[in-house]
Amino acid sequence: MNVNKLQNLAMNDNGFIFDPNTGYSYTANETGILILRKLASGLDKDGVRTAVREIYEVSEDNFNSDFEHYMLMLESLDMIEF
Amino acid sequence: MKKTYIAPNIERNYAGNMNKYGAKSVVRHQDNIDGVPIKEIVEQFGSPVLVLSESVIRRRYRRMQDVMQMHYPNIQQAWSYKTNYLGAVCNIYHQEGSIAEVVSGMEYDMARRLGIPGKDIIFNGPGKRAEDLQKAVKEGARIHIDHLDELYLLEKVARELKIIPNVAIRVNMDTGISPQWSRFGFNYENGEALRAIQRLVSGKAMKLSGLHTHIGTFILDAQAYYYAAKALLDLAQKVKDELHVVLDYIDLGGGFASQNTLLGSYTPGEFASPSIDHYAQAIGDAFNESQFVRDHDPQLVLETGRALIDEAGTMISSVIGKKNLPTGERAIILDAGVNTMITAWWYKLKVTPTRPFPGAYQNTVFYGPLCMNIDVVRNAVPFPDLYTGETVLISPAGAYNNTQWMQFIEYRPPVVLITETGKLELLRAREELSDIIEREFIPEHLRNI
Ligand SMILES: Cc1ncc(COP(=O)(O)O)c(C=O)c1O
- Quick one: three-class SS letters along B77-114? EEEEHHHCCCHHHHHHHHHHCCEEEECCHHHHHHHHHC
Which ligand 1 atom sits closest to the C-alpha of B83?
Answer: 9
Closest partner residue to A69 (CB to CB) among B2, B11, B330 is: B330
Instruction: Dump the DSSP string for B381-419.
Output: EEE----TT-EEEEE---SSSTTT---SSSPPPPEEEE-
Mean pLDDT of B123-128: 97
Mean pLDDT of B238-249: 98
d(CA B60, CA B307): 8
pLDDT for residue B15 is more than 60 = no
Confidence of residue B27 (pLDDT cuts 50, 70, 90): low
Mean pLDDT of B39-53: 98
Burial of A72 from C-beta contacts in 10 A (0-12 / 13-18 / 19+) = middle
Q: Closest Cα to residue B311, out of B403, B368, B394?
A: B394
Residues in chain A closer than 8 A to B360 (CB atoms): 15, 27-29, 32
pLDDT for residue B259 is more than 50 = yes
Q: Would you kindly state where each structural domain of chain A is located, as residue ranges?
A: 4-76
Residues in chain A closer than 8 A to B13 (CB atoms): 24-27
Cα of first residue to Cα of last residue in chain B, in angstroms, is 60
Which ligand 1 atom sits closest to the C-alpha of B170?
Answer: 1
The single-letter DSSP state of residue A81 is B
Name the E strands within B263-302: 299-302
Cα of first residue to Cα of last residue in chain A, in angstroms, is 4
- Contact at CB, B7 and A72, closer than 8 angstroms: no
Q: How far is the CA of A76 from the centre of ligand 1 (A)?
A: 47
ipTM field: 0.95
Confidence of residue B30 (pLDDT cuts 50, 70, 90): very high
Find the chain A residues whose C-beta atoms sit closer than 8 A to any C-beta of B.
15, 17, 24-32, 34-36, 54-58, 62-63, 65-70, 72-74, 76-77
The percentage of chain B sitting over the pLDDT mark of 70, rounded to a whole number, equals 96
Specify the 3-state DSSP secondary structure of B241: helix
Whether chain A has a CB inside 8 Å of the CB on B13: the answer is yes
pLDDT for residue B177 is more than 60 = yes
Compare B322 and B123 and report the one with higher pLDDT.
B123
- Contact at CB, B10 and A17, closer than 8 angstroms: yes
Mean pLDDT of B354-378: 85
B83 lines ligand 1 (CB under 6 A): yes
| Identity of residue B19 | N
Q: Closest Cα to residue B220, out of B278, B171, B284?
A: B278
Residue B18's pLDDT is what? Answer: 43
- pTM for the model stands at 0.83
Compare B180 and B36 and report the one with higher pLDDT.
B36
Confidence of residue B223 (pLDDT cuts 50, 70, 90): very high
Write the CA distances from A28 to B7, B108, B245, B273, integer angstroms: 11, 58, 73, 36
Q: How far is the CA of B304 from the centre of ligand 1 (A)?
A: 6
d(CA B76, CA B225): 16
Mean pLDDT of B179-199: 93
B107 lines ligand 1 (CB under 6 A): no
Q: How far is CA B162 from the centre of its chain?
A: 37
Domains of chain B as residue ranges with CATH:
32-52+311-429 (2.40.37.10), 124-304 (3.20.20.10)
Residues in chain B closer than 8 A to A27 (CB atoms): 10-11, 13, 360
